Structure 1
């Protein structure tokens, strides 16, 4: 059996400023660092065969904190990156909503119909999540791995495992920073055990 733990990166400055991040990047806040350390403590007794992380700094910095003193390989791969938002990246969300009302509404309410000539479509990210999952399953027929990634990437991956169509993507539970989701793979069939747990974080 393969066990896969999924977590979202720690809070960043752009999260606080309510900016779209995507392939852009911002530093972890003190809260983000603290929450990542709390997750490291929670997972301290688990052995990981590998840690897979997005190539975005906020994700691999979180992965490095969780890895701590473990002798475990941290594998950075673009497959695990957040959805690209094109020219929305780095911009304040309220400004995007004001300037692109129809596209922004479609993004959140009808993601399966969302389309722009900038960034990625949800279906493209879905293909990436499927490829990422297949990569892990190929490299690890059994054992335990950790994935450190991003909000929409993880929502799409969890939806894929649960058989939820893109149409209902944002009807799922929102994933907090450093939230923990556990999946198991038996007979090449992944299944979610628990989702978005935040019990290690004290606010």
Structure 2
């Protein structure tokens, strides 16, 4: 990890990697990168919108970020990268994809090494190929689809358990001995209607 004194100006190359592992280089679409460290409200922004670049430039096909007078506090550098991928199905003609990620750069209180350009890579799971084509659900493998769905299933199970622990639902829930899960009784809607005043 590259360590830089937080009061120092610095620059680095931001490498964008597509879902299939290819380097995108300079994006063929508009983008905005918001950098922060420990303080979420203190942001340094770089962008290239409509060909107008701010705090960055195209360095032989690579994104070169120049953090001049950035005012970021100490901490690991993080980025929220927003890209506008041209796609006709959206009313404004492009799909907004936001990718938050930590980078391998840390702003520190102490001294840093000689001022040299660093590199930070960022995986964009919503892009594939060297043209930045959209990455659709069909492009995921079965294993990747399971990895996407499992956290959602777990969250729903936890939410159901939390609701079951509440006093207003506990009288209408019974434990299924085989599954070990709490399930609503068959007349659950009728019981809930009786508990609530009707208009």
TM-score per shorter chain, which class? Answer: under 0.3
Q: Answer 1 or 2: which has greater strand percent.
A: 2
TM-score, normalising length: structure 2: 0.22
Q: Answer 1 or 2: which has greater helix percent.
A: 1
